[in-house]
Amino acid sequence: MTTAMLTEALASLTRHRGVFGALVADADHGLVVEATVQHGVSADAIAALAASLYRKAQLSSRAAGLGDVSLLRLEAGGGQLCAIGCGEVVLVVVAEARTNVGLLRAEMHRAAERLA
């Protein structure tokens, strides 16, 4: 996938109402590969924390015999975060708490297929 295609995939996610930002992070090290985020949003912090959370869920799920994690969603009072693993990278979206998760989830799966 070219950088332009990656940027377009992330842009399609950030066009959703309530989305603050979308990024692709290295799954092992939590470093930003590509990001499209609103002003004031720290892509570096999101990448590091989201990759860490996804990795923890992945290891825990495997240890519990539940297999690999395909999608993770964190919901908090002030926002939510969704992450999908795509091989060596993690696709992450941060959005308002009220954002339509069903639509976002479907769009993330489409974007993840393009990343794979």
Partner 1 sequence: MSDDIRRLSDELARDPSSLVYLALGETLRRRGALDLALKVALRGLERHAHNPAAHDLVGRVAADKGELERALEAWTMTTRIAPSHAGARRGIGYVLFRLGRAMEAEAHLAAAAADGDDEAAAALSRVRAMLGIGAPTELEVPAGAPAELATEPPSSPPRALRAPSDDAARTLFAETLADGEHTALLLDADGFVVAGAYVTEDGEDVADQIGAELSGVRDEAERMVKHLDLGALRSVVFETDVATVAMTPVGDDAMLLLAASKSTPLGLVRRVADRCADRARHWLSEVA
* Cα–Cα distance for residue pair 50/44, rounded to 1 Å: 10
Which residue lies nearer to partner 1 by CB, 6 or 112?
A: 112
Which residue lies nearer to partner 1 by CB, 4 or 64?
A: 64
| Dihedral of alpha carbons 7, 9, 14, 15, sign | positive
Please report how close the Cβ of residue 64 comes to partner 1 at its closest, in angstroms: 4
Please report how close the Cβ of residue 69 comes to partner 1 at its closest, in angstroms: 5
Please report how close the Cβ of residue 3 comes to partner 1 at its closest, in angstroms: 26
What distances in angstroms separate CA 107 from CA 29, 75, 77, one per listed residue?
Answer: 25, 18, 23
Residue 92: CA atoms inside 13 Å, Cβ hemisphere, count? Answer: 35
Residues in touch with partner 1 (CB under 8 A): 45-46, 49-50, 52-53, 56-57, 60-61, 63-81, 94, 97, 102
